């Protein structure tokens, strides 16, 4: 098998070795081993076949997000012109196409990776067309481009009067708005990759993504190992990712002191891998960081340009992740937050809810000051920035928490009161009364002026979302 490159990297033509004699011919039409070695590793899961007459034009079709398809196409009878259009945002060949004639005589095959629109036109009286896919058909993720959009400049080798289209293919939108030379119509949804999707913030984003016209692709370690740089780049490139939201982190502050290498891997190296993939593909990275990058010795809210000085392993590794993102050259927005809680996972609110229902007395520290932040509010902030696409041109570091200030003691008493757990007496105590391996910042209040003015964002006081979260838990 010969592999012939085309004008677009990754799109290749395959020519088999044909053995013929007076009896006929034989050739190996597909070998998984050879394909993996000579083209790329792809696991095809479905074979399809269509039969069409002269002039039939099918396309230009694609599937979005997690259902994006790589295709290996061939013609077993007749002749077709097969076309692949690069729709990968950030690709150096974005909007360009490759066309190749496939026939039962030349026995060529055409490999089209994920991130391309595909179509073909029948040039012979009849044609039988076959193709392999690495994802099944998913109608909810379908997209299409008008076959005759003039800005694409595709010569289909047919006279316009000979073209036969399905009713569906007759009404696809074009690539660009009339009169525009640069603005691309939203022919595809944005593809948004969420890492750490099973965590508090990730699950809150999943819930919002369900009502979006865009495609939120939710992954956790089972779907994507973000410590594997190669796997990250492949996923971002093949799925045509526009925005990466990194919610993944090693957040066990105590354990990080004993296992800093693991925290370093997840909080620093993985962030660097995502940033490198964003740089390589033109995606924008939303990276979530923490108040723990500061030492908590301030007496006024920390601004984005405050000098970081982490106290422990968790803060050090998160700061290293921030710096890796900044140094990568990608487009990024870093969001530092603090005191996160939600309906999901383990967090302070849920712990206090349980303990105040079980105990008569409870000690909670009063000398650590910050802002309880509902993960749903942070998710909504990220979601609104993505949906409005206002992240372009507004890259940088931002602070986000809910409004207001309190101690852990104040927060606990409010939780107990709102839940009706008035039989539990909550006693304020000093941090020194509960020694821990990891030092906590005594003051974690973050200044939110920048995010509020940049994105015209209203942020609720922390009591309001706390009540909402408690109601959600009670249902």
The residue from 131, 216, 314, 398 that is catalytic is 314
Distance CA 209, CA 217 (A): 9
**Tell me: the pLDDT tens digits for 79-114?**
999 999 998 766 788 889 999 999 999 999 999 998
pLDDT (tens digit, 9 = 90+) per residue, 140-169?
A: 778 888 999 888 999 999 998 999 999 888
Mean pLDDT by groups of 10 residues along the chain of 475 residues:
93 94 92 92 93 95 82 97 87 90 96 93 97 89 86 93 92 56 48 94 91 84 94 90 95 94 97 96 95 96 96 97 97 97 95 95 96 96 91 95 97 96 95 89 96 95 96 90
> Would residue 314 show up in a list of annotated catalytic residues for this protein?
yes
CATH architecture, domain defined by 191-474: 3-Layer(aba) Sandwich (3.40)
As a whole number of angstroms, the distance between CA 445 and CA 338 comes to: 8
CB 190 within 8 A of CB 214: yes
- Report how far apart the first and last C-alpha atoms of the chain are (Å, whole number): 61
Residue extents of the structural domains in the chain? 2-171, 191-474
Residues 261 and 357: their CA atoms lie apart, in Å, by 38
Q: How far apart are CA 142 and CA 381, in angstroms?
A: 28
Q: Which residue is associated with the tokens 């949906």? A: 387
Beta strands, E only, 196-269: 215-218, 243-246
CATH topology of domain 2-171: Jelly Rolls (2.60.120)
């Amino acid at each position: 098998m010969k592999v012939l490159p085309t004008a677009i990297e990754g799109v290749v033509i395959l020519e088999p070795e044909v053995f013929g004699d007076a009896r006929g011919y034989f050739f190996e039409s597909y070998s998984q081993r050879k394909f993996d070695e000579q083209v790329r590793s792809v696991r095809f899961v479905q074979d399809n076949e269509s039969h069409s007459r002269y002039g039939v034009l099918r396309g230009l079709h694609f599937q979005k997000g997690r259902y994006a398809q790589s295709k290996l196409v061939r013609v077993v009878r007749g002749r077709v012109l097969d076309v692949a259009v690069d729709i990968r945002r950030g690709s150096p060949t974005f909007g360009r196409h490759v066309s190749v004639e496939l026939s039962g005589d030349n026995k060529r095959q055409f490999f089209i990776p994920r991130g391309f629109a595909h179509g073909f036109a029948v040039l012979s009286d009849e044609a039988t067309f076959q193709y392999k896919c690495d994802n099944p058909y998913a109608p909810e993720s379908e997209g299409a481009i008008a076959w005759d959009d003039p800005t694409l400049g595709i010569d289909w080798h047919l006279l316009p009067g000979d073209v036969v289209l399905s009713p569906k293919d007759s009404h696809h939108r074009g690539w660009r708005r009339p009169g525009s030379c640069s603005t691309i119509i939203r022919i595809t949804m944005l593809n948004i990759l969420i890492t750490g999707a099973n965590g508090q913030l990730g699950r809150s984003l999943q819930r919002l993504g369900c009502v979006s016209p865009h495609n939120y692709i939710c992954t956790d370690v089972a779907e994507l190992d973000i410590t594997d740089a190669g796997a990250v780049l492949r996923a971002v490139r093949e799925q045509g990712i526009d925005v990466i939201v990194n919610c993944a982190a090693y957040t066990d502050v105590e354990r990080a002191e004993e296992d800093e290498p693991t925290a370093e891997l997840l909080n620093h190296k993985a962030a660097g891998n995502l940033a490198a993939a964003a740089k390589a593909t033109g995606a924008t990275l939303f990276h979530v960081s923490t108040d723990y990058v500061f030492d908590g010795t301030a007496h006024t809210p920390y601004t984005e340009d405050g000098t970081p000085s982490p106290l422990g392993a968790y803060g050090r590794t998160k700061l290293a992740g921030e710096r890796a993102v900044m140094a990568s050259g990608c487009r990024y927005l870093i969001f530092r937050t603090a005191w996160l809680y939600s309906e999901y996972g383990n967090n302070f609110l849920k712990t206090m809810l349980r303990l105040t229902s079980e105990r008569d007395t409870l000690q909670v520290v009063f000398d650590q000051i910050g802002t309880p932040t509902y993960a749903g509010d942070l998710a909504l902030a990220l979601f609104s920035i993505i949906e409005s696409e206002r992240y372009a041109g507004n890259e940088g570091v931002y602070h986000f928490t809910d409004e207001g200030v309190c101690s852990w003691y104040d927060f606990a008493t409010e939780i107990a009161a709102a839940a009706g757990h008035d039989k539990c007496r909550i006693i304020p105590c000093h941090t020194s009364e509960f020694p821990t391996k990891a030092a906590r910042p005594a003051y974690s209040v973050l200044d939110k002026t920048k995010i509020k003015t940049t994105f015209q964002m209203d942020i609720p006081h922390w009591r309001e979302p706390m009540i909402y979260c408690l109601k959600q838990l009670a249902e």
